[in-house]
């Protein structure tokens, strides 16, 4: 019998491996996923004593954590964490690691910012490696500036590890590209803490048709946001979407217009945390297979 040539045999093996991994996602290229990650991915480095790592925990789904964040969580002596860090992420912290909860609920500051800074300094000065774990990306509405200042004033070295911010996560889960070229040439992250009925934000600067706006911390300001943008010239039927608990199994969303969203929200209140997206790119949700999956609870 003629021997099989090596090249077609290899091609055949690769095709088989791809087929197997399609039907059994735990297998990649014929190897178990955990073996694959530990053998092939370049996880290196050690948590340094006396050092603080300001780490993004992503938006809730543990698989949205970066590899660097996962490694640091496994190595640190102490973890100082916030309210929006998901339970599955916290479950990665080994038993025996010191944990400090410093979370803040809206209007209830469980630990003042200055004390959080002082805690990190004390831990680092005692020779511990410290992970400061924050929801999403630590540099986006995360008060990271104050924490960096506190560490710098105490000469404590710090490293920033970015995370997946709520805007990216919510957009992905709803199947929309935030800067789709046919819809938005700009993208703006806005804190809704300034959005009051008295018109504090510059609504005319925000009311653009070539932009996607993402409001953080705005669930209680939806009415003011819709009114402000309409008064500044955006049409009543301008698209808006609310996404609560983005990337988590209990994700919920409302899609509507500036005119009808306050009523929709009153009829079907959403939980916190929630991001608000405004812009014509939101119209893509209607045709997005990713969004349909979510609505069918297949996520």
Q: Which residues are catalytic?
A: 82, 104
For ligand SAM, the binding residue among 73, 102, 274, 285 (CB under 6 A) is 274
For the segment 59-118, give every residue that binds ligand SAM (CB under 6 A). 59-60, 84
For the segment 151-190, give every residue that binds ligand SAM (CB under 6 A). 165-166, 170
Which residue minimizes CB distance to ligand SAM? 136
C-alpha angle 55-60-263 in degrees, rounded to nearest 5: 125
Residue closer to ligand SAM, measured from CB, 60 or 117: 60
Site string for ligand SAM, 10-49 (x = CB under 6 A): ----------------------------------------
Asked if 10 contacts 39 with a C-beta cutoff of 8 angstroms, the reply is: no
H or E segment and range at residue 94 = none
Closest approach, Cβ 193 to ligand SAM, in A, equals 9
Q: First CA to last CA across the chain, in angstroms?
A: 50
For the segment 107-146, give every residue that binds ligand SAM (CB under 6 A). 134-137, 140-142
Asked if 253 contacts 211 with a C-beta cutoff of 8 angstroms, the reply is: no
Q: Which residues of 62-96 are buried (b: 16+ CB within 10 A; e: fewer)?
A: bebbbebbbbbbebbbbbbbbbbbbeebbebbeee
Q: Count Cβ atoms below 10 Å from residue 45 Cβ, excluding itself.
A: 10
Residue closer to ligand SAM, measured from CB, 59 or 129: 59
Residue closer to ligand SAM, measured from CB, 191 or 283: 191
């Amino acid at each position: 019998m003629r021997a099989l040539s090596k090249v077609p045999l290899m091609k055949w093996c690769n095709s088989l491996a791809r087929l197997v991994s399609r039907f059994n996602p735990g297998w990649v290229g014929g190897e178990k996923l955990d073996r694959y990650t530990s053998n092939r991915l370049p996880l290196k480095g050690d948590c340094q004593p006396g050092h603080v790592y300001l780490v993004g925990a992503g938006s809730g789904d543990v698989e949205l954590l970066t590899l660097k964040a996962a490694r640091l969580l496994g190595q640190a002596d102490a973890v100082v964490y916030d309210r929006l860090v998901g339970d599955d992420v916290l479950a990665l912290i080994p038993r025996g690691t010191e944990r400090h909860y410093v979370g803040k609920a809206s209007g209830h500051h469980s630990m003042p910012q200055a004390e959080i800074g002082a805690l990190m300094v004390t831990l680092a000065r005692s020779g511990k490696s410290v992970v400061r774990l924050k929801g999403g990306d630590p540099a986006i509405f995360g008060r990271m500036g104050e924490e960096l200042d506190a560490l710098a004033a105490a000469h404590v070295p710090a490293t920033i590890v970015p995370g997946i911010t709520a805007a990216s996560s919510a957009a992905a889960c709803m199947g929309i590209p935030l800067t789709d070229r046919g819809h938005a040439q700009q993208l703006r992250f806005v804190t809704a803490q300034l959005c009051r009925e008295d018109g504090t934000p510059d609504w005319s600067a925000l009311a653009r048709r070539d932009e996607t706006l993402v409001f953080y911390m705005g669930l209680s300001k939806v009415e003011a946001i819709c009114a402000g943008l309409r008064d500044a010239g955006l049409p009543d039927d301008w698209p808006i979407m609310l996404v609560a608990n983005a990337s988590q199994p209990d994700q919920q969303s409302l899609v509507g217009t500036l005119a009808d969203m306050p009523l929709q929200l009153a009829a079907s209140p959403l939980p916190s945390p929630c991001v608000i997206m405004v812009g014509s790119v939101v119209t893509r949700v209607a045709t997005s297979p990713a969004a349909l999956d979510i609505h069918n609870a297949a996520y």
